[in-house]
Amino acid sequence: MNPVRIGLLGLGTVGSGTVNVLARNGAEIARRAGREIRVVHAAARDRRPCPVEGIRLTTDPFEVVDDPQVEVVVELIGGQDPARRLVLRAIENGKHVVTANKALIAAHGNEIFAAARNRGVIVAFEAAVAGGIPIIKTIREGLAANRIEWLAGIINGTGNFILTEMRDRGREFADVLAEAQRLGYAEADPSFDVQGIDAAHKLTILAAIAFGIPLQYDKVYTEGIAGMTRSDVCYAEELGYRIKHLGIARRTDRGVELRVHPTLIPERRLIANVDGVMNAILVKGDAVGSTMYYGAGAGSEPTASAVVADIVDVVRMLTADPNNRVPHLAFQPDQLSDVPILPMQEVETAYYLRMQARDELGVLADVTRILADVGISIEAMIQKEPAADSNVVSVILLTHRVLERNMNKAIAQIEALDSINGEVMRIRVEQLNQDWK
């Protein structure tokens, strides 16, 4: 049987890793796929060390998607444009597509999947979320018997590395970010990582597959980690928690929560102990209970592992009836739900609050009165001693669960007190236990 011919867009970190994995494990992969898989055409501005013998090279990616010999286009250039035009052109040409591009899928996936269905081709995107962790396939196929109740994940390794270093080494955010850039974990412009945009792209995809809803990136509440301080990390530890930057998708009676933000979670939870650049995703299904998936969320060969697995799946399905393939978003296209996405002010969670208060009589009474007036009860409190020659103290509160809109009211009133200096630091708290519904 003839080899399946692959056209590769991009020979950067993941592209070169994909070529290397196919070259090294080609025979084993062919045994799994039933046919040899061969890269025949690749587009790149430059290339990293990888074997290119037998591969036609070009700087024009449209040459690859228009090549009649290419059966499967693997898009690894990233970004939304020209990636969107290239993928839609490949689909129009009747070619199957594999992509690792989370921004593309999150922003344009609905359009891309509709085009693929109309043309009868496959779009596979396992590598778009969590690198080498097969989380897309797990939710879409392995947990197909379950009603997914919620998922929560560390899905950006750069942010996790920064928070780990701040905790373990007592370093400040800016210092660790600079090291992450030196090590290649963060880009020269780290905004996608530290502002939560990368995680929001990935959460959009996970939520669509988990709940059978359209991709809705514009409705994800997104908050980054740039405001985290060493003090907050230490106070969280003192209270028995660790701070992780989580993507959370949760089904409620009122709608679906989609949110990315720093979160305090109990230090005894497994996911609280996922450190460095590693990723982990918790998924709660009604039948299976809580499950966790852990591994490398980025990198050349971990991500290439997911890319090649998608290629193998495409090869296996080349002769399958297009009407009987696994749906792109797990649910049949005409069965996607229009359940609303809750605005953040309608989300209920517990809170960590830190404020700088004057060390004088009645300040805490004023704060607790404001909280009580909007129905917020306090679970724990820490008051630190003032520094020498200062009458300002750090006050840290943990609250019970409350609607965000009520917390917004309370914080506005607390910040208006003459006895409170500056803004109140707010970090959400989640237990992530079996009872969370």
Choose the catalytic residue: 95, 102, 202, 244. 202
Under 8 Å CB-to-CB from 368, ≥6 apart: which residues?
378
Nearest alpha-carbon partner for 134 in 281, 272, 319: 281
Pairing between strand 96-99 and 256-266?
unpaired
In the DSSP assignment, the letter for residue 33 is H
Query: Is 202 an annotated catalytic residue?
Result: yes
Residue with tokens 């074997």: 51
Residue with tokens 């917390």: 407
Residue with tokens 């509709």: 114
Residue with tokens 């978003």: 329
Alpha-carbon separation of residue 35 from 28, 29, 32, 135 (angstroms): 10, 8, 8, 25
Under 8 Å CB-to-CB from 166, ≥6 apart: which residues?
172, 173, 176, 228, 230, 233
Under 8 Å CB-to-CB from 169, ≥6 apart: which residues?
none
SS3 letters for 282-335? Answer: EEEECCCEEEEEEEECCCHHHHHHHHHHHHHHHHHHCCCCHHHCCCCCCCCHHH
How many whole angstroms separate alpha carbon 350 and alpha carbon 372?
14
Nearest alpha-carbon partner for 228 in 155, 154, 165: 165
Pairing between strand 392-399 and 348-358?
antiparallel
Exposed/middle/buried for residue 417 (C-beta within 10 Å: 0-12, 13-18, 19+): middle
The catalytic site residues sit at: 202
